[in-house]
A and B are shown apart, each in its own frame.
Chain A
């Protein structure tokens, strides 16, 4: 299978750059797979897992929380709001964080704090769902 250039960047980090064979990304209107010579597409992403299949049969999975995907002739670029390799995520810690966030909501004294805490909870739950299990 032919390879194309793929890049995954988040505001804080350059997470992935290299030639790959296929990328599955969680588009706003559903998952889509990009192979070489894909038609130019620009789309927003929702939270989910990006699966990158490299040329040597290696598969890498990364969790992204929203962002943009830009497919053009020179390759495929994802601008993620936040991205974490799935391998780096500690399930137990996420569960603990969810618990913390729930308590934060219960303890919140101001509307603003409550909103921030429930935002955080929603994010964590997305993440938890993405890991599965």
Chain B
């Protein structure tokens, strides 16, 4: 039976925890709004890029550059696993890592070589235990407050350099798509060879499309557009991830705050009850002492 003092201490410590989780929830809510608007601001560009690329790719006959058609092999896979830099955001990191892990197992069963590029420390920490040897690099974005296109571009260029050096054949991106505050969907997306979006989703373009004029030339444009597309996809993934992380943290902290509230209520009931019991006991002692006289 805990003493009254113990109970009091316990209640006050839970209260302190609740204050922290509450504060974290509010911070996450504020950051979420910013991350969400950043993700939305980036969307038109990505959509336009998709439609331009779809237009271009429709005109490409037979093969095309390796970034579009692949290099004809399927032996080495690069997995780019984008997670958060911080924990305390529910199952956010774990669910991305789980998806990546399933993919790795599948690939390894097929006898393929797997390389992992981690963006974000939390994913690295979880994957390190099992796949230490497969991880080739960890990119930390800890100091980055608001993810800019430069960050994504750097990663994109690194990936392309690796591809050109023959470091891998297929690249897949793992991140979490932001659907709503309570729903984030872990997603995998193949970026090399590029998956050309079907023209149905692209904004409808009327009129003849075949008579495009290309300046300087179709191949030159394609060869600048494709690397750029990689960076854009990475950028989009990072922004979606940032919004998802904040959403996940917000709901996790909301839960934690509610749990702390429940616990405080329960502990307070126990505290009051044992205080009552003590008073009753003392009264009985006094009365029975008086009666004995």
User: Closest approach, in angstroms, between the C-beta of B185 and any C-beta of chain A?
Assistant: 23
Do B149 and A40 have beta carbons less than 8 Å apart?
A: no
Interface residues of A in 1-57 (CB under 8 A from B): 7, 9-14, 27-29, 39-44
Q: Which residues of A contact B149 (CB under 8 A)?
A: 10-12, 81-82
- The one of B152, B205, B211 in contact with A74, judged by C-beta atoms closer than 8 angstroms, is B205
Q: Which residues of B contact A70 (CB under 8 A)?
A: 48, 52, 55
* Given A29-B215, A40-B213, A72-B205; A14-B44 close (CB under 8 Å): yes
Give the complex CA separation of A27 and B215 in angstroms: 8
Q: Which residues of B contact A7 (CB under 8 A)?
A: 44, 48
* Given A40-B211, A42-B213, A73-B207; A9-B48 close (CB under 8 Å): yes
Q: How many residues of B contact A (CB 8 A)?
A: 34
User: Closest approach, in angstroms, between the C-beta of B196 and any C-beta of chain A?
Assistant: 16
Give the complex CA separation of A77 and B49 in angstroms: 10
Q: Is A79's beta carbon under 8 Å from chain B?
A: yes
Q: Which residues of A contact B228 (CB under 8 A)?
A: 68, 81
Give the complex CA separation of A42 and B45 in angstroms: 16
Do A13 and B221 have beta carbons less than 8 Å apart?
A: no
Scoring B148, B205, B208 by chain A CB atoms within 10 A of each residue's CB, the highest score goes to B205
Q: Which residues of B contact A39 (CB under 8 A)?
A: 211, 213
Q: Which residues of A contact B7 (CB under 8 A)?
A: none
Q: Which residues of B contact A42 (CB under 8 A)?
A: 52, 55-56, 212-215, 221
Do A68 and B209 have beta carbons less than 8 Å apart?
A: no
Do B216 and A28 have beta carbons less than 8 Å apart?
A: yes
Q: Is B224's beta carbon under 8 Å from chain A?
A: yes
Residue of B nearest to A78 (CB): B48
Q: Which residues of A contact B42 (CB under 8 A)?
A: 11-12
User: Closest approach, in angstroms, between the C-beta of A78 and any C-beta of chain B?
Assistant: 9
Classify the secondary structure of A's interface with B: strand
Do A11 and B221 have beta carbons less than 8 Å apart?
A: no
Q: Which residues of B contact A27 (CB under 8 A)?
A: 215
Residue of A nearest to B232 (CB): A11
Interface residues of B in 111-161 (CB under 8 A from A): 148-149, 152
Q: Which residues of A contact B56 (CB under 8 A)?
A: 42
Q: Which residues of B contact A73 (CB under 8 A)?
A: 205-208
Interface residues of B in 227-262 (CB under 8 A from A): 228, 232, 235
* Given A42-B213, A44-B216, A77-B48; A12-B41 close (CB under 8 Å): yes
Q: Is B225's beta carbon under 8 Å from chain A?
A: yes
Do B41 and A13 have beta carbons less than 8 Å apart?
A: yes
Do A79 and B48 have beta carbons less than 8 Å apart?
A: yes
Do A41 and B221 have beta carbons less than 8 Å apart?
A: no
Give the complex CA separation of A29 and B70 in angstroms: 30
- The one of A9, A12, A44, A74 in contact with B38, judged by C-beta atoms closer than 8 angstroms, is A12
Q: Which residues of B contact A82 (CB under 8 A)?
A: 149
Q: Which residues of B contact A13 (CB under 8 A)?
A: 41
Give the complex CA separation of A10 and B46 in angstroms: 9
Give the complex CA separation of A44 and B215 in angstroms: 7
Q: Is B6's beta carbon under 8 Å from chain A?
A: no
Q: List 13 A-B contacts (CB under 8 A).
A: A7-B48, A9-B45, A11-B232, A14-B41, A40-B208, A41-B213, A42-B213, A42-B214, A70-B55, A72-B205, A73-B208, A74-B207, A82-B149
Which 7 pairs of residues, A with B, have the shortest CB-CB distance?
Answer: A73-B207, A43-B215, A11-B149, A9-B45, A41-B213, A40-B212, A14-B44
